[in-house]
A = this chain, B = another copy of it.
């Protein structure tokens, strides 16, 4: 324990190894804020949002700057600071996976169908059940969607503003966290798929390519939010909150 000692000992160097010259007072404040953010994020198993950090750090702290600095400090450590949506979490370094196998928690294995539905939802969100079926060419069983909702990787986002107002599905921050993605745009191969026009829900070739929203929580233009009445109708009391 280093009580009372608030000095951060890491020497901060830029790419060329030169000490960065900034206002020393601001620098010290940022370093101390980074230290606090470090403690808060480290203490939590779940990602901590920047909003939550801002609430708990002294006023006026540049949270993104503090987090960027921390991320750089931990970049090549055994534990890395990773961004998950608009939240931050410490996670063991990916290259040490071989070392960690012993800690692996037995996870429920998803069926091939469930995984396929998951990737369709991830790449095409917001997407309705009919669209998922169109892409896969097969009916999606209720059980498959339920399983995905149970993992909390998939959630109901809203309702499409189209006849019948079908429910739209999307992924959650838990999904990002689980697969080590900063945001939906980081999905493997998403740029190529977009370029090839394969993420459009409808043919014909030479068609316009819809870009998945960078903020998956934002409703699309043709989406309505889910209301309590909708949820009741769908037999859902509350969709699990992903951020508390």
Spell out A's residues near B (CB within 8 Å): 1-11, 13, 34-40, 42-44, 56, 75-80, 82, 90, 92-96, 99-100, 102-103, 180
Contact A34 B94 (CB under 8 A): no
CB contact under 8 A between A93 and B8, given known A2-B75, A2-B80, A75-B2: no
For A92, what are the chain B residues with a Cβ–Cβ distance below 8 Å? 39, 42-43
Complex: A49 Cα to B4 Cα, angstroms: 28
Contact A39 B96 (CB under 8 A): yes
Cβ distance A183 to chain B, nearest Cβ, rounded Å: 14
Q: Which 9 A-B pairs have the closest CB atoms?
A: A38-B78, A39-B78, A35-B78, A39-B92, A1-B94, A3-B94, A39-B96, A42-B79, A9-B76
Complex: A56 Cα to B102 Cα, angstroms: 8
Contact A1 B180 (CB under 8 A): yes
For A75, what are the chain B residues with a Cβ–Cβ distance below 8 Å? 2, 9
Secondary structure call for the A interface:
mixed
Of B36, B80, B82, B95, the contact of A96 (CB 8 Å cutoff) = B36
Complex: A44 Cα to B56 Cα, angstroms: 25
Complex: A32 Cα to B94 Cα, angstroms: 14
Give me 8 A-to-B residue pairs in the complex whose CB atoms sit less than 8 angstroms apart, sorted by A's number.
Answer: A2-B76, A2-B93, A2-B94, A6-B76, A9-B75, A35-B77, A36-B96, A43-B103
Complex: A102 Cα to B13 Cα, angstroms: 33
For A9, what are the chain B residues with a Cβ–Cβ distance below 8 Å? 75-77
CB contact under 8 A between A77 and B6, given known A36-B96, A99-B36, A99-B39: no
Contact B10 A95 (CB under 8 A): no
Complex: A168 Cα to B52 Cα, angstroms: 44
Complex: A40 Cα to B92 Cα, angstroms: 8
For A78, what are the chain B residues with a Cβ–Cβ distance below 8 Å? 34-40, 42
